[in-house]
Chain A
Amino acid sequence: DTGVSQDPRHKITKRGQNVTFRCDPISEHNRLYWYRQTLGQGPEFLTYFQNEAQLEKSRLLSDRFSAERPKGSFSTLEIQRTEQGDSAMYLCASSSYLWATTDTQYFGPGTRLTVL
Chain B
Amino acid sequence: QKEVEQNSGPLSVPEGAIASLNCTYSDRGSQSFFWYRQYSGKSPELIMSIYSNGDKEDGRFTAQLNKASQYVSLLIRDSQPSDSATYLCAVNRASVMRDMRFGAGTRLTVKP
State the B residues within 8 Å of A (CB). 4, 8, 31-32, 34, 36, 42-46, 49, 51, 88, 90, 92, 94, 97-105
Contact = CB atoms under 8 A, between A and B. Distances in A.
Interface SS of chain A: loop
A41 interface: yes
Nearest to B8: A40
Given A42-B103, A97-B98, 20 more contacts: A40-B8, A40-B104, A40-B105, A41-B105, A42-B102, A43-B102, A45-B99, A48-B98, A55-B98, A56-B97, A89-B43, A91-B43, A101-B31, A101-B94, A103-B98, A103-B100, A104-B34, A105-B46, A108-B43, A109-B43
Contacts of B8: 40
Contacts, number: 63
B98 A41 contact: no
A40 B45 CA distance: 16
A109 B42 contact: yes
B98 A107 contact: no
B101 A103 contact: no
B46 A102 contact: no
